[in-house]
Chain A
Amino acid sequence: MSTQQHLDDHIIARYTAQPTRLPAELRRQIEHAWQGAPVQLYALADLDQGLRLTEAWLALGPRHVAVAKRTDDGAWDLRIIDRAQIQAIREAPGLSANTLTLLGAPGEPALALLRYTHRQRRAFENIRFVLEEQLAGHIRHLADVDADRLYAESVARPIRDAQALVSGRQTAVIRRLLGYLKPYRRQLTLGMAAATVITLVSLVPPYLAGHLIDRVVRPAQAGALSLARAATIAWLAVAAMALVYLVRQPAVHIRLRLMSIIGEWVARDLRAELYEHIQRLSLAFFSRKRTGSLITRVSADTDRLWDFLAFGVVDVSLSLVMLVGLGTVLLTLDWRLGLVMTLPVPVFCWLIYRHSEEITRLFIRAWRKWSRVTDVLSDTIPGIRVVKAFNQEQREIGRFAERNEDVTAEFNRIHASWTKFWPLLMLGVHAMTVAVWVFAVPRLLGHGAQLPVGTFVSFLLYTTMFSAPIEVIGQMARTINRATTSAHRVFEVLDTEPEIRDVPEPIRLEPVHGRVTFEHVTFGYDGVRQVLRGVSFDAAPGELIGLVGPSGGGKTTIVNLIARFYDVSGGTIRVDGIDIRRLDTGHYRRQIGMVLQDPYLFHGTVLENIRYGLPEAPLSQVVAAAQAANAHDFITKLQHGYDTVVGERGHTLSGGERQRVSIARAILHDPRILILDEATSSVDTETEREIQQALERLVAGRTVFAIAHRLSTLRKASRLFVIEDGRLVEHGTHAELLATPDGKYRHLYELQLQLQ
């Protein structure tokens, strides 16, 4: 079983309380009823006709489908339907209940009617897709499909995509995180040693104070010790005290400095590893994860891990050492008073833990209300023109004021909670001190076991040292939870394998001529639903191929496969006769240029953006590329010329200007294979003319695949491919296709002419 499926099974079992797969006994019954034919796909229908939760299954085989419902006695009521009987499939979506109906002959009762929640929808869609393909006359062979994997993936995917699930065990994550400290073992040992010194020497001054009173001051006052001898010992004690602080403060310096530096190094290593790994990941990963979430992982999460490694680890471990040390010293000095002071400590830790839980609950409420405040901001600031146009300023001010009041009340509730808790806790600590007095005073006055005054003073001094470690231990669960959450998020990215990988000893095509051949290429993003269905063509070097057809037909998928952003599910793509999976991907992609509908410029100067693919290109070539792209004129009119900073995503330039800069970038890059994806669709007519001129210069001598909805822009294409429903349904020159009666291209072209 693959790691992925193991993870999906784990998600289903842990989060959904539904079977991780088709029950084995039921599967045996179904396959027996099908004369041994295998179950190829299955889905759980989790609602009955009365819309109550239930367990029923729909299974698909090569020639049959089976519907199984549990009877009251726990057995399975199995119905077998011949796939040939199915004449129509109907799906009725609802808010949370979907209905799939398999229909036979018109007017006849439905062959099967199943209800299911959205959680099961993907699994049902897989089955529905195969059956609809059958009805459309396309037989979809599923011999290589793993039914268990597809079912588990379809159910677990929404959770898997939302959550960074790397390891369920917190300890394993912490251990892995601590592994990043290994390269800095020497500095870590020194930092921990310094922290240990700080903890231990902190225990010395109260002990010295007690010792001085009992062994020096009182004997001297009672005349049992000579004044000269007492003075010598007292000065030695003072010197020892000074030495303690002289040792302690440098140790504090070493600890703070080393641990914060180590934390920074580890955060740097994590950021670098993470960013490098992200660059290697395939596009499929980026389509699953939100950009904001990935940025947070590289920035905020690594920062939080720095905090944990630099201070959390040391604080928590040393607080434990400190509490154990304090307890040991106090019980050794006087076990009765020691018990008075140590017994309440677990109670204090528990109280702090409970308080942090309460604060978390308050924060959830406050964050919810805070999100309502930010909702107003993110709505109205980008949409300020609409607000003003509809004269809704006062309403928006009122909406914001109400939510602002609301969130302030919640934050004040948080302040009310902690400002009440901490004084009460300190009252508890002081009560402990009073308890020490209550137990100590009679003994100091001679009742009960003897208690030296110095020992009592030491106790009082030790009392003040309890609160800080108690606080850290009380917050420990939260500190560790926060750190492991960030670690999960970081490790999830690091553990994701790139789906596109080079074979051992990949081939470098030098030079690339640019012949692109598709041989029966099929492709599906999820393994079942095919986006491309057996596409074959051969594009000669230097040809301009126009890809046209309705949206969702598969045009963009074709160019994504040419750029090897994904690998084909079936068939082969060859470049100059070589399967692209055998090519060195990095070298191959350097031969590919792309001009997209929404050109992406990086924050930097115009010069840096044009030189993005070729950072060492001479300035004269940059200007030549910009001239060829019809960009030189507008660039020179900018105040800083080619050194103008274009801002984030090039927002200081217009859409047409950004497009021309991106064309200049592609011209300078000089690719052998060029992809134009709706390069002129979002600009005005004049700008389109300029871009069109630029593109004509760009495409010369290259193999070009151009996607365009405006068919007039592709009139000069060598050939046009009409892609519909994942198939190449027509191909030929513009004139040839227009001459085809009832042709798809001709129909599209005429529709566009009518609109003009």
Chain B
Amino acid sequence: MTLALATHATRTLTLEWRADGSLWAVRGEVERPVSVRRCFPWTEPTRHLSLRDADEEEFAFVRDPADLDARSRAALEMALAVAGFVFEVTRVLEIDEEVEIRHWRVETRQGPRTFQTRLDDWPRGLPQGGLLIRDLAGDLYHLSRPEALDRSSRDLLWAFVD
């Protein structure tokens, strides 16, 4: 059995950033401000994208941004950068265990950051390699290549990497 993907025709869809600071999706006569959700943020981050309106209803589904015109694709990429933003860890400075929580001090591409995880919340290995850590507030920290970090970071991370 072949399952057909229920999508709206991507060719008639255009995307643009407007003065109100929102990404607008236009399909024929209908237009709406939308936000982007990746269906597979780690397995396939650049394809299978759901565009959702303010009521969280799916307005359009983009299987492949290559199906869009160049301007729409550029607009979508900008939106993806915000929607898919996570902290990129470049150095681990300290991992300390305290009462019931693990305290992390790291440097990220975005600046220095401290965060905490539960002792039994382990970093998650990603399908394409790398590690993902979720802190107590829900923020995500990505280590794309833990093995390429400096020696001190690797030592600190040793217990958390396979």
Contacts and interface: CB of A to CB of B under 8 A. Distances in A.
Interface of A: 15-17, 47, 51-53, 90, 92-97, 99, 101, 103, 106-110, 113, 115, 117-119, 121, 158-159, 162-165, 361-362, 364-365, 368, 371, 406, 484-485, 488-489
28 contacts: A15-B114, A15-B116, A52-B111, A53-B108, A53-B110, A92-B83, A94-B84, A95-B84, A96-B85, A96-B86, A96-B87, A97-B83, A101-B21, A107-B19, A108-B20, A109-B19, A109-B20, A110-B21, A118-B138, A159-B136, A162-B101, A361-B159, A364-B97, A368-B122, A368-B159, A371-B122, A488-B99, A489-B99
Given A94-B83, A95-B86, A485-B100, A118 B139 contact: yes
A93 B18 CA distance: 19
Give the 7 A-B CB pairs with smallest separation, nearest first: A53-B111, A110-B21, A97-B85, A118-B138, A92-B35, A158-B136, A119-B137
Nearest to B18: A107
Contacts of B97: 364
Given A95-B84, A163-B98, A365-B160, 9 more contacts: A51-B81, A51-B110, A53-B108, A92-B83, A95-B85, A103-B20, A107-B20, A108-B20, A121-B138
Contact of A97 (B82, B111, B120): B82
Nearest to A120: B137
B82 A99 contact: yes
Contacts of B22: 90, 92, 101, 110
Contact of B85 (A51, A110, A119, A489): A51
B124 to A, nearest CB: 11
B54 interface: yes
A121 B33 CA distance: 21
Contacts of A488: 99-100
B40 interface: no
Contacts of A99: 82
A165 B160 contact: no
Contact of A101 (B20, B103, B136): B20
Contacts of A53: 108, 110-113
Nearest to B20: A110
B140 interface: yes
Contacts of A52: 110-111
B134 to A, nearest CB: 9
B79 to A, nearest CB: 9
Contacts of A368: 122, 159-160
B143 to A, nearest CB: 14
Nearest to A492: B99
Nearest to A155: B137
A163 B99 contact: yes
Contacts of B120: 371
A118 B137 contact: yes
A115 B18 CA distance: 17
Given A53-B110, A94-B83, A101-B20, A15 B160 contact: no
B129 interface: no
A107 B112 CA distance: 38
A162 B19 contact: no
Interface string B104-131: 0000101111101010101000000000
B100 A117 contact: no
Contacts of B111: 52-53
Contact of B82 (A51, A119, A364): A51
Contacts of B160: 364-365, 368
A15 B137 contact: no
Interface string B71-82: 000000000011
Interface residues of B, number: 42
Contacts of A16: 114
Nearest to A109: B19
B120 to A, nearest CB: 7
With a 10 A CB-CB cut-off, give which of B18, B82, B118 has the most chain A CB atoms.
B82
A158 B101 CA distance: 11
A336 to B, nearest CB: 42
Contacts of B162: 406
Contact of B100 (A106, A113, A163): A163
A362 B160 CA distance: 10
Contacts of A92: 22, 35, 82-83
Contacts of B81: 51
A23 to B, nearest CB: 19
A17 B100 contact: no
Nearest to B38: A95
Nearest to A115: B82
A97 B111 CA distance: 15
A51 B18 CA distance: 19
Contacts of A47: 85, 110
A362 B158 CA distance: 9
Interface string B1-44: 00000000000000000111110000000000101000001000
Contact of A365 (B135, B136, B158): B158
Interface string B53-94: 010000000000000000000000000011111110000000
B20 to A, nearest CB: 5
Contacts of B86: 95-96
With a 10 A CB-CB cut-off, give which of B99, B111, B113, B118 has the most chain A CB atoms.
B99
With a 10 A CB-CB cut-off, give which of A92, A163, A365 has the most chain B CB atoms.
A92
B116 A121 contact: no
A158 B158 CA distance: 27
A158 to B, nearest CB: 4
A106 B33 CA distance: 12
Contacts of A159: 101, 116, 136
A419 B129 CA distance: 34
Interface string B134-162: 01111110000000000000000011101
Contacts of B100: 162-164, 485, 488-489
A103 B108 CA distance: 32
Contacts of B101: 159, 162-163
A38 to B, nearest CB: 28
Contacts of B158: 361, 365
A53 B113 CA distance: 9
Nearest to B56: A93
A522 to B, nearest CB: 27
B125 to A, nearest CB: 10
Nearest to A161: B136
A195 to B, nearest CB: 29
B98 to A, nearest CB: 7
Given A101-B20, A101-B22, A368-B122, A93 B139 contact: no
Nearest to B81: A51
A117 B87 CA distance: 10
Contacts of B122: 368, 371
Contacts of A118: 137-139
Nearest to A101: B21
A231 B98 CA distance: 62
Contacts of B99: 163-165, 484-485, 488-489
A99 B160 CA distance: 32
Nearest to A48: B110
A108 B84 contact: no
Nearest to A104: B20
